[in-house]
Amino acid sequence: MPSTHRTRTVLTLGTAQTLAWGSTYYLPAILAAPMARDLGVSVATVFAAFSVGLVISAFLGPRAGRAIDASGGRRVLALSNIVFAMGLAGLGCAGGRWSLFAAWMLIGMGMAGGLYEAAFATLVRLYGRDSRNVITGITLIAGFASTVGWPLSTVLEHWIGWRDTCFVWAGLHLLLGLPLNLSLPGRQPERAPQASPGSIAVPAAAPGHVAAVDAPAVPLRSAVLLSLVFALTWFISTAMAAHLPTLLAATGVSLSMAVTAGALIGPAQVAGRLLEFGVLRRAHPLLSARIASVMHPLGAVALAVWGAPAAMLFAVLHGAGNGVLTIAKGTLPLALFGPQGYGERQGLLMVPARLAQALAPWLFGLCMERLGPGALWVSAALGALVFGALALLQQTEGAQAP
């Protein structure tokens, strides 16, 4: 497919993903408090409903991936916009606890077929093994989802209230997201593209064996290790998103500096993705992932050694590593297992990650209550486990690395 078509696909899907993330995953951070006050429930209850939505998305993800494998992602992504709109409209109409949970369950159904996993599977269905650059491209654009979503939700909530804010987001899914996803290219026949700087090399199999790209079977050990990597990565990312200012304050960082450090994470994520797109684009995704996995532990060590002055460094290292690992969620399964059955496999690999994501705010909050600043060592240890799992994964799949 010509490069101009790929650029158009990246811009289209990246914009649609920015809307999808900004109106769902990043919504509770702004609207949870006014929702709780109006509905007569606790803020924790609102986040519990959000967590239920994440659990729903985890278990429906493989089915959405299977549908993308069979017929491409355009219809699945477009359907997610309709489901998102219904869920957000239901959220705006919620009158109590049960309708709140029902609305988030519906939004969770949309997340199963409307967030990164579905977008990555759509790109792999379109471009096969030559998908690395386009995956990076949409994460570069959608990396600004919080930068766009949080201020917009804040302004709308102050202007028209949280209910009408949900209705506005629902309308944007129908008026903007749905046409964007429907304009994506249709399913392309699978082919073996020529290698390019952004492609992922998969060598030919030895005589008498089936190439990894054509083999539906996946080594169980490799799948378990990769699933563990994704689960730990999502746990760390979500825990930091929920508790970073409080965690930094517990280590002696002032509130203003903690907030400033938190604001650096988004730009650092984009910088990490630019690094992946530029310097690391010729390297195997395992190398990129290994480098990214040590950034959070290194930042934790710097914060422990130098204290408050290292808060900014910690935020930048964490953000950059998280940005690259987000891309790795799309490129590693493709590099190790090939494009055949990618969507369903991606959905299965991400089930533990979605569950870890749903539990992270609560579990890491307990760690902070009991350990205080020592909770930082818990996240650092989990980051070290990510690196260890990636090292074992490289040994397992080392023959596939260029």
- Output 170 or 47, whichever has higher pLDDT: 170
Torsion-angle region of residue 208: left (phi > 0), alpha (psi -120 to 50) or beta?
A: left
Which tens digits make up the pLDDT trace of 169-221? 999 999 999 999 999 987 554 444 444 444 334 333 333 333 333 444 567 88
Range(s) of the chain covered by CATH 1.20.1250.20: 3-182, 220-400
pLDDT score at 243: 76
Provide mean pLDDT across the span 63-81.
91
Provide mean pLDDT across the span 35-42.
92
Cα–Cα distance for residue pair 275/270, rounded to 1 Å: 9
Which tens digits make up the pLDDT trace of 98-155? 999 999 999 999 999 999 889 998 998 888 877 878 888 888 888 888 778 888 988 9
Q: How confident is the model at residue 70 (pLDDT cuts 50, 70, 90)?
A: confident
Q: Which fold has domain 220-400?
A: Growth Hormone; Chain: A; (1.20.1250)
Which two tokens mark 96?
Answer: 């109590």
Which two tokens mark 170?
Answer: 């629902």
pLDDT score at 24: 92
CA–chain centroid gap for 242, Å, is: 15
Which tens digits make up the pLDDT trace of 248-284? 888 888 877 877 787 788 788 888 888 877 777 777 8
Q: How many CA atoms lie within 13 A of 214 on its CB side?
A: 8
Which two tokens mark 174?
Answer: 């129908």
- Considering just the CA atoms, what is the radius of gyration of the chain in Å? 20
Contact present, 255 and 249 (Cβ < 8 Å): yes
pLDDT score at 190: 44
Q: How confident is the model at residue 4 (pLDDT cuts 50, 70, 90)?
A: confident
pLDDT score at 401: 36
Torsion-angle region of residue 72: left (phi > 0), alpha (psi -120 to 50) or beta?
A: left
**CATH class given for the domain over 3-182:** mainly alpha
Q: How many CA atoms lie within 13 A of 172 on its CB side?
A: 20
Contact present, 88 and 166 (Cβ < 8 Å): yes
- Least confident piece of the model among 33-37, 154-158, 164-168, 275-279: 275-279
In this prediction the pTM is 0.79
Which two tokens mark 4?
Answer: 């101009």
Provide mean pLDDT across the span 150-167.
92
pLDDT score at 211: 35
Q: Is residue 303 scored above 50 in pLDDT? A: yes
Contact present, 49 and 102 (Cβ < 8 Å): no
Average pLDDT, the chain: 83
Alpha-carbon distance values, 28 to 31, 48, 181, 261, 273 (Å): 5, 10, 25, 21, 26
Of 90, 5, 6, whose CA–CA distance to 49 is shortest? Answer: 90
Q: Is residue 382 scored above 90 in pLDDT? A: yes
Contact present, 138 and 14 (Cβ < 8 Å): yes
